[in-house]
Structures are given as structure tokens and as C-alpha cells.
């Protein structure tokens, strides 16, 4: 591979505007680019790292939603420049990929430079070393038995290939429903498995949620390479759960995005009332071993949760029964999350929960479930599983 000079030229042309906010970083940008041009790659890498540390502090002061965009853009800029510098200074490929993935997760991609660079570097990893990781286990070895189903039969309404009229009629009821085989036509439904994901992106770094569920006090998050995530948390002997949850993983790895299609249903809904504009369709991935739990919670937008492989169990409570679910009102971050463990209800503590209508569903590979806005949903994976959710208005 050449010295990635095409990526360097793109970075040099990158907008000066975000740098107007920090003289320190603007000076360091010029200095690093000069060092790179004079082929002092180790030095340019070192300077990038100083800048990344400086910005990291800013990214971790205050609430994430309040962080100004320019810090995130500049973080991505230095991540990419650090990676190309390190590559030219003979650094190892997985370290370069790690730098870029941090830039993608913590920052904002610059004209898709980071996404393309990460893919190009990952393609450079010798197939033999990827195979070594993948062949440690077969998909059957990942198969944990964690499939207790707390109900005899599903109570959710089930459709197969509903037309627009039927879909609109159903969403008007503001109740969840399942579309059997709704994503069977995706190439992903045929191709993807734990091993396939490993083969495509073993060395890509992703944020992993660690703990039995996000509402637990001991729950934490860690960024790690996919191969480490799979080796650690898909091991049937592992009791701690690790979950790649609610992450734009397909945005990070567009090669995988080519294997899915945004469902047409996302574009069939009625216009919003008053001045309100529809937002973009937000696509998130949910990848984990058997036994991951998303506790009973609600989201503000419509959702189509689509199952690529593995099965998931869902217990849903309509928004109209919100008075019975006991949201965690003491923690502002958990206001949308119920305190009730729906598979093991403490009825002394939560006596009204018995009045809530519970709609039960099993999502098999290829199925999708429509979850109306504010409808409470509890989701547990029964197998190693990959789902893609689409939030829309």
C-alpha cells in the first residue's frame, strides 16, 4: 500500500473553520501536516497524540449531548492523521485501525475519510491472521443455552408482507405487531453469522455494554475489538454479559450496510401535525450473545426492530398502560426505563404492574416487529443474535 498520501491530501484540504475555535489546535494542525510532509512520521504521530489527549479531556467534561460539534470534528481529524502517520512510521495495522475507530465513535467522520481509511487498513490484514481468530470457534460453539421462555404462546398480532394500507391501519391502533419474514430478502439474512461478522471486521473497535442490563449499578461500557468481544462474551462459560447495543455499527462498516435495506414502511407514515418535520431514519445495531437484556423501557419514535440471526423474546406494554410500569423516576437518565423485572415481578413492590397489558412475541431470524412510539418493550436474546433497529416518525 502506498503511504496513504491520498488520505493525507484530503485531510490537508479539510475545512479550517472548526480550528478557528482553538488557536492551540490550529497551530498543531499546521505543525503536524508539515512534519508529515517532511516524512517525520513518528514526530507527526506524537504530536497528533498530544492533540488527541487534549481533546479527549474536552470530550469528557460535561454531558455528551452538550459537547460542541467542533471538538468531535477535530478529534476525528487528528485520529485520521495519527493513523496515517503511525502507518508510515511502520506501526501495526490494528493499532492504526483502533485510532480511526476511536475517531469514528467519539468524533464525526470527515467526508467519509475515516470510514474509507478503516476499511482499506482492515483489508490489508493478512487473511491468514483473520482466519486464525475466526477458526477458534464455529457458530455452533457460540450457541449458549439461555432460552427460557416465560410464556406459552405469543399474543402479538402477526402479519406476513402487509401492504401499505394494512400497515397504516395497524400503526393507527398504536399497538405492536410482528411482520413474519419481513427481512428475509436482505442479503444479510443469508450471509451473516457470528463468524461472518468476525471475518469482515475482527479488528474493528466497537463500544460494548458490560453488565446484565443498562439499569444496573455495576453496568459499564468499554471500547474493544470485535474479536475480543466475541472471544470474551460469546463463550458459553462466560456469565457476565457484553452487548454491542444501540450503535451505528453499519455506519462504521458500510460494507455490511450493503447487506440490509431500510424498510419501505419507514417512509409510509402520515405527515406530522403542525410545523413538526419528520426526522431522519436512525439505524442502530444490536449484536450480542444469548441472554442480553434490554430492560422494559420506551422510546419517543416509531421503531421497526429487525432480526438478522438468532431469536429474541419481547414483552411489550402499550403506552396507554404507562401508569402501571413504575419508571425509575429518581434517575433523570432512566426516566424512560421501568423498575419492574418483567420476568420476575415483585408484586409487593410493584402491585399495579399486574394491571398492565403484556403483549408477548418471539422474533425469529428474518422477522421484524413494529414498536409504536412510547410503547414499553423488554427484549432478551435467546441465542447469539444480531438485530437492526430503524427509528422513524
Ligand X SMILES: O=C(O)CCC(=O)C(=O)O
Kindly state the smallest distance separating residue 305's Cβ from ligand X, in Å: 5
H-only helix segments in the chain: 5-12, 23-37, 41-59, 69-88, 93-106, 113-124, 127-134, 139-142, 164-172, 187-191, 194-201, 226-233, 249-252, 254-257
Residue found under cell 436512525: 282
**273 neighbors 225 (Cβ within 8 angstroms):** no
Kindly state the smallest distance separating residue 232's Cβ from ligand X, in Å: 19
Q: Which is nearer to ligand X, 137 or 297 (CB)?
A: 297
Residue found under cell 442480553: 292
Kindly state the smallest distance separating residue 137's Cβ from ligand X, in Å: 23
Q: Which is nearer to ligand X, 103 or 310 (CB)?
A: 310
Q: Which is nearer to ligand X, 91 or 251 (CB)?
A: 251
Kindly state the smallest distance separating residue 322's Cβ from ligand X, in Å: 16
Site residues (vs ligand X, CB under 6 A) = 286, 294, 299, 303, 305, 377, 379, 387, 389
Beta strand 368-371 with 177-179 is: antiparallel
- Could you tell me which residues come within 8 angstroms of residue 265 by beta carbon, excluding any fewer than 6 positions away? 167, 304, 370
**Any bridge partners for residue 206, and if so which?**
224
- Between the CA atoms of 221, 226, 231 and 236, what dihedral angle is there, to the nearest 10 degrees? 70
Residue found under cell 406530522: 272
Kindly state the smallest distance separating residue 294's Cβ from ligand X, in Å: 3
Amino acid at each position: 500500500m502506498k503511504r496513504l498520501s491520498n488520505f493525507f491530501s484530503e485531510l490537508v484540504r479539510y475545512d479550517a473553520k472548526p480550528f478557528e475555535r482553538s488557536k492551540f489546535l490550529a497551530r498543531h494542525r499546521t505543525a503536524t501536516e508539515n512534519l508529515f510532509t517532511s516524512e517525520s512520521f513518528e514526530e507527526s504521530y506524537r504530536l497528533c497524540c498530544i492533540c488527541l489527549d487534549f481533546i479527549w479531556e474536552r470530550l469528557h467534561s460535561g454531558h455528551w449531548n452538550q459537547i460542541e460539534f467542533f471538538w468531535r470534528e477535530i478529534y476525528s481529524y487528528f485520529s485520521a492523521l495519527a493513523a496515517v502517520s503511525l502507518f508510515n512510521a511502520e506501526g501495526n495495522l490494528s493499532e492504526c485501525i483502533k485510532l480511526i475507530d476511536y475517531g469514528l465513535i467519539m468524533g464525526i467522520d470527515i467526508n467519509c475519510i475515516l470510514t474509507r481509511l478503516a476499511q482499506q487498513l482492515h483489508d490489508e490484514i493478512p487473511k491468514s491472521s483473520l482466519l486464525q481468530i475466526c477458526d477458534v470457534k464455529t457458530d455452533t460453539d457460540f450457541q449458549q443455552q439461555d432460552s427460557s421462555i416465560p410464556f406459552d404462546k405469543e399474543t402479538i398480532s402477526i402479519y406476513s408482507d402487509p401492504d401499505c394500507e394494512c400497515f397504516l391501519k395497524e400503526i393507527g391502533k398504536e399497538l405492536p405487531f410482528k411482520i413474519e419474514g419481513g427481512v428475509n430478502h436482505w442479503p444479510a439474512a443469508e450471509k451473516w453469522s457470528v463468524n461472518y461478522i468476525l471475518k469482515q471486521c475482527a479488528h474493528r473497535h466497537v463500544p460494548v455494554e458490560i453488565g446484565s442490563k443498562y439499569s444496573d449499578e455495576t453496568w459499564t461500557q468499554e471500547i474493544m475489538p470485535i474479536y475480543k468481544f466475541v472471544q470474551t462474551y460469546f463463550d458459553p462459560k462466560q456469565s457476565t454479559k457484553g452487548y454491542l447495543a444501540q450503535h451505528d455499527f453499519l455506519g462504521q462498516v458500510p460494507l455490511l450496510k450493503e447487506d440490509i435495506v431500510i424498510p419501505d414502511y419507514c417512509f409510509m407514515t402520515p405527515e406530522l401535525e403542525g410545523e413538526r418535520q419528520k426526522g431522519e431514519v436512525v439505524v442502530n445495531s444490536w449484536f450480542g450473545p444469548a441472554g442480553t437484556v434490554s430492560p422494559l423501557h420506551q422510546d419517543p419514535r416509531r421503531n421497526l426492530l429487525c432480526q438478522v440471526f438468532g431469536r429474541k423474546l419481547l414483552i411489550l406494554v402499550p403506552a396507554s398502560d404507562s401508569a402501571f410500569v413504575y419508571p425509575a423516576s429518581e434517575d433523570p437518565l432512566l426516566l424512560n426505563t421501568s423498575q419492574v423485572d418483567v420476568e420476575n415481578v415483585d408484586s409487593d413492590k410493584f402491585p399495579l404492574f399486574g394491571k398492565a397489558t403484556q403483549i408477548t412475541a418471539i422474533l425469529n431470524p428474518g422477522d421484524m416487529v413494529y414498536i409504536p412510539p412510547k410503547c414499553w418493550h423488554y427484549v432478551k436474546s435467546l441465542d447469539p443474535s444480531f438485530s437492526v433497529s430503524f427509528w422513524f416518525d
